[in-house]
Structure 1
Amino acid sequence: MMEGSEIEPGAANSLPTLTDIAQIPDATTSREEDTNRNAYPTTSRSVHGAVAGGDRSKRRGTAKRKPRPRTGSDNDVRRLRPFIASPFMPITTKSKNEVVEQPRKLKEPRSRSPTKYGALAHKRSDADQRRAELLPLQAAPEPSPDSLAVTPADPVQPRKRSDSESSHSSDASESSSSSDSSDSSYTRFSDLTRKQWATMGMLAIANLCSTVAFSCIAPFYPGEATDKGMNSTEIGIVFGVFELVMFVTAPLLGKYMTTIGSKRMFTVGLFMTGVTAILFGFLNLLPAGSLFFWASLVIRCLEALGDACFVTSSFAISAKCFPGRIATVVGLIETFAGLGYTAGPVIGAVLYEYGGFQMPFLVLGFLLILATVVSIFLVEDIEDEEAEDTKGMLGMLKMPVIWLMVFAVVICAISLSFFDPTLAAHLESFNLSTTMVGLMFLLCGGIYTLTAPLWGLIIDQWNCCYLLMFFGSSATVVSMLFVGPSPIFHMEKNLVVIGLSLSLFGVAAGALYIPTFQNCLNAVKKRGYEDNFQTYGCVSGVFQAAFAFGAFMGPTLGGFGVQQIGFAWTTSIIAVINVFFLVIMLIFFAIRWYKGDIEEESGSESCDSASERSQKA
């Protein structure tokens, strides 16, 4: 390109080269000029440009370029600093006025707040912070100058953890895990030991055998007693005295459970029930008259005492061995108990038909004795600690929530036991066979047996005791009004409607009965009762006494009501009693809401712990 000629088209759009940006001599620079350039190793780029600019313009001398202004300021030096280091250009030194850029601090990632149960995340973070503050702080050793000198060629190795630090971190993890386990009393089925599984199995089998031995006499004993000269009143006394003895003895057994021992009370009660069942089978050898009546009454009372012993202790053992699954285990026990009540008459009738009067009692009695021997080895040995300062059962009965739960258990037991002497007569107008009548009984007892463990799981999972009780009582009202049906509806008796009402009542009875024991335990713990067997025994005693009282009142007053005013009006009165319970429960919640205590009687168990258990499950 000659002097004065124009720049070629497209050259303006071409990108400048590294040589043009740095404005250093090209490859044709003489050795002398290179020597002059190397004589200033620490000069800035502006000075170097001023020195070499004149020679460059003389050497090229072809294109008249507009000289680029150079002020020699530090900003210009930083602006002309190349992106890639070049060996052909000097490296500028840092000026005094140049601002040193600090490394940008990365923002700490925000902890994800859960989409649900926000209070739980805050609770966990506080717990972790407290555990971190409790851990001893170890001062890190000051780094030596040799350790700070790192050559560029050698990669920086991470610092190895010392043995003390590793042991310290392991201790911290162990302490955090132990604190987590201690904070929550939730018991998962996957964590149960073989001993706990055996204990749960023995509780279920014992309740099954005892209820079968209690209910198996229904199909054949009234006929045998009539042949021995007993009247209907005496037969009713023999049936009703069982629940009456349980009503009297259950609170006393619960109060002195720690003195007797829970496992000892369980095994002795189971053995007594088995022995009295065998003795009851030999009553047919006695002569007719008052001797048969009094012998039946005494043996029945002893059987009720044994049943009260092991049933009361079984509830206390369940509460101690499975603290996070109380409602589930109680539901399992009630499942087998309901199965015994349902299958007992059938088993008794079959054994009586093939072996006579003694066969049902001998078979069931020896099964109970065998269960006693097995329970000695399988039931978990539990230390029955006795509290030094306890408020006792009288202090427990001063709590309004306990009386509310007692009322719920009583009306549930009245509703369940009312059908035993009255339902068969109510179905006579349909001309059903004995098998069909038994199936109608099975609709109530069988569905109760199937749904009882489901209610226990729901309570342990979501802690909704009062909501289930409200549903159970409301469903009981509906079933009692339509099983008659109530005269207020002006409906004719319908077998399908009666069957649906009995099925609904089986569901409702479990929803009303299962949450009561859990509510009683939560209430007494919140009022300062210690978590020991004496508390469990008192609660279990009150619980069993309330059910026994309702089971005694149901057939007695129910039979009297049917005789006086009829089946339909009697079921309507039972429905009104359940409505009265609903009103009392609503008033109870209204008073607590007014006082600002609307949370459930959950003791140490709150909604946060319930959500945590649902996440763990």
Structure 2
Amino acid sequence: WSRLRRKLWALPLIYTQFWFAGVCSLMAPYFPGLAAKRSLNAWQYGFFFSTWKIGLLIGSIISERVTAYVSPKAGYLTGQVGLFIFTVAFGSFFWIQDGPTLLGLSITSAIFGGTVASMYTVSLYSMITSRFHDDAGLLIASMEALWGIGSMAGAVTGGALIDLWEYPLPFYVMGTLVLISFPFMLRMEPRQECTAPQLLAEAAQQQDVRYYRLLWDLPFLSDMVTVTLAWGILSFNEPTLEPFLEQFKLNSTQVGTVFTVQSVCYAASALVAGALAKYKYERATIFVATGLGCLAYLVAGPAPFINTEPNLALVYLAQVFMGCAMSGQFVCGYMHALRSIIKRGYPDNVRTSSLVSSAVFFCMIVGAVATSPLAGYLAETFGYRNASLLMFAVLLLWTLVTGFQWLRSFCTASDVIHL
């Protein structure tokens, strides 16, 4: 029984990750509709999504301190309870009739929600990686696949619950489901939870490693651009896709289904990307994934230079491409960044892995914060078809860059640097 109990502690993690993703998937398809009914413009409620990302950044800093001085499980449980509080409060905003009041409260709540969500996520990865020593790429891909499946279920279930009653119902139901596993996690005792002494010991041993050189390390910065674009694609959709879908006269369930397609493809392709990363095909995968993102914004509107009216089938196709693009960019961008700097002389230890994770998270948040309000403003001012040209152009340029890097990797090998 004791051996079985040591393994069963992962089940609440899987359950909570599923519904955590479901809760986070509710905001993009359904909050813009509520905000529009309160006479808020797209660029205004786009700040909610940007503020959420700022909260994620704050939470990553707090969770590191909690992990160092308490434990990863403390950060995880704090994030879990905090997310429940945020979700119930956010659903209750339905009864606020004044637009500016709704905007102010939603932005304020986004700071809190993003912070606790980040604490949950960072602590989750800390607990899993301290217990399981599996291939890193497949581990990341598996968690991302579970995230995609949860997002798919959350978007569809949320639409059905809104059709059943009103906007608050899915937030109340899923927020409660997230909290159900709390008593189980409170009693579980993951092995090797206290990793702070190890981190401090490694930090003392590696004081001579000059990590600041990564600030002008072009291969590393290239991978950071790649992961930034992954969240840029997601953040462009948040304030723009739901208003664009209004012309098709879809109900809430159908709107959720459109977002679900992206989540399904993200989940499935994340596993493929993880397998490719395991066999070190990151460069090729990044090139193909970025190209798919470029194609997504070519057909989503479609682009104004294509003489075709908006078509729901093309929107679905674009969501397929977007899901595949985001997973490939994130999983392989992360793994290539980590492997490449270790190959070029940086130590293969927790400190290096932590630095790469922090850099990836920081760059993704910066890209997301910048993209959401800009996308909302461009879509409202110039229309979705013209606004999508921005992402098309950026992704087209980066497809050319990553294609060149992939071809160049066949001809040259990185030299080991001296630290």
Equivalents in 2 of 1:392, 1:373: separation in Å? 44
Quote how far apart the aligned CAs of 1:529 are.
3.2
The CA deviation string for residues 443-496 of structure 1, in whole angstroms up to 9 with x for no partner, is 322222222223223322x22111111111122222322223334444454444
Query: Which of 254, 266, 273 lines up with 1:448 in the alignment?
Result: 266
Query: Which of 323, 331, 335 lines up with 1:514 in the alignment?
Result: 331
Distance 1:207 1:524, change over 3 A: farther
The CA deviation string for residues 513-561 of structure 1, in whole angstroms up to 9 with x for no partner, is 22122223323434333522x4443332222232233333333222222
The CA deviation string for residues 100-153 of structure 1, in whole angstroms up to 9 with x for no partner, is xxxxxxxxxxxxxxxxxxxxxxxxxxxxxxxxxxxxxxxxxxxxxxxxxxxxxx
Counterpart of 1:568?
A: 385
Alignment pair present for 1:360 and 2:170? yes
Instruction: Indicate if the aligned counterparts of 2:152 and 2:261 stay in contact, CA closer than 8 A.
Output: no
Q: Aligned residue pairs: how many?
A: 406
Counterpart of 1:465?
A: 282
The CA deviation string for residues 251-284 of structure 1, in whole angstroms up to 9 with x for no partner, is 6645874445333322222222223333445556
Instruction: Indicate if the aligned counterparts of 2:46 and 2:239 stay in contact, CA closer than 8 A.
Output: no
Alignment pair present for 1:330 and 2:148? no
Which SS does the other structure have where 1:548 is aligned? helix
Alignment pair present for 1:206 and 2:16? yes
Counterpart of 2:120?
A: 310
The CA deviation string for residues 165-206 of structure 1, in whole angstroms up to 9 with x for no partner, is xxxxxxxxxxxxxxxxxxxxxxxxxxxx85785465444333
Counterpart of 1:538?
A: 355
The CA deviation string for residues 87-112 of structure 1, in whole angstroms up to 9 with x for no partner, is xxxxxxxxxxxxxxxxxxxxxxxxxx
Counterpart of 1:480?
A: 297
Instruction: Indicate if the aligned counterparts of 2:163 and 2:252 stay in contact, CA closer than 8 A.
Output: no
Equivalents in 1 of 2:165, 2:309: separation in Å? 43
Range 411-420 or range 546-555, more displaced = 546-555
Amino acid at match of 1:419: N
Equivalents in 1 of 2:79, 2:61: separation in Å? 15
Flag the structure with larger Rg. 1
Distance 1:588 1:194, change over 3 A: farther
Quote how far apart the aligned CAs of 1:306 are.
0.8
Counterpart of 2:108?
A: 298
Which SS does the other structure have where 2:379 is aligned? helix
Which SS does the other structure have where 1:512 is aligned? helix
Higher-helix-fraction structure:
2
Alignment pair present for 1:406 and 2:224? yes
Q: Percent identity?
A: 17
Alignment pair present for 1:421 and 2:239? yes
Which SS does the other structure have where 2:84 is aligned? helix
Counterpart of 1:270?
A: 80
Instruction: Indicate if the aligned counterparts of 2:159 and 2:254 stay in contact, CA closer than 8 A.
Output: no
Which SS does the other structure have where 1:507 is aligned? helix
Amino acid at match of 1:483: A
Equivalents in 2 of 1:262, 1:272: separation in Å? 15
Distance 1:371 1:538, change over 3 A: farther
Counterpart of 1:27?
A: none
Distance 1:549 1:206, change over 3 A: farther
Instruction: Indicate if the aligned counterparts of 1:253 and 1:537 stay in contact, CA closer than 8 A.
Output: no
Equivalents in 2 of 1:561, 1:594: separation in Å? 41
Quote how far apart the aligned CAs of 1:407 are.
0.7
Equivalents in 1 of 2:390, 2:140: separation in Å? 29
Query: Which of 38, 54, 70 lines up with 1:244 in the alignment?
Result: 54
Equivalents in 1 of 2:13, 2:359: separation in Å? 19
1:69-468 to 2 correspondences below 5 Å: 198=8, 200-218=10-28, 221=31, 234-250=44-60, 253-254=63-64, 257-283=67-93, 293-352=103-162, 354=164, 359-378=169-188, 380-382=190-192, 383-384=194-195, 385-386=198-199, 387=202, 388-390=204-206, 391=209, 394=212, 396-432=214-250, 434-460=252-278, 462-468=279-285
Which SS does the other structure have where 2:231 is aligned? helix
Counterpart of 1:163?
A: none
Query: Which of 505, 511, 522 lines up with 2:322 in the alignment?
Result: 505
Distance 1:254 1:195, change over 3 A: farther
Equivalents in 2 of 1:379, 1:196: separation in Å? 8
RMSD: 3.7
Counterpart of 1:597?
A: 414
Range 490-499 or range 206-215, more displaced = 490-499
Amino acid at match of 2:397: F
Equivalents in 2 of 1:486, 1:285: separation in Å? 38
Structure with the bigger RCO (C-alpha within 8 Å, sep 6+) is 2
Quote how far apart the aligned CAs of 1:396 are.
4.8
The CA deviation string for residues 317-362 of structure 1, in whole angstroms up to 9 with x for no partner, is 4444344322222122112222333333433344455565654344
Q: Report the TM-score, using the length of structure 1 for normalisation.
A: 0.57
Q: Which runs of 5+ in 2 are unaligned?
A: none
Alignment pair present for 1:555 and 2:393? no
Equivalents in 1 of 2:409, 2:124: separation in Å? 33
Distance 1:297 1:457, change over 3 A: same
Amino acid at match of 1:389: Q
Amino acid at match of 1:268: T
Distance 1:393 1:361, change over 3 A: farther
Equivalents in 1 of 2:217, 2:66: separation in Å? 21
Amino acid at match of 1:468: T
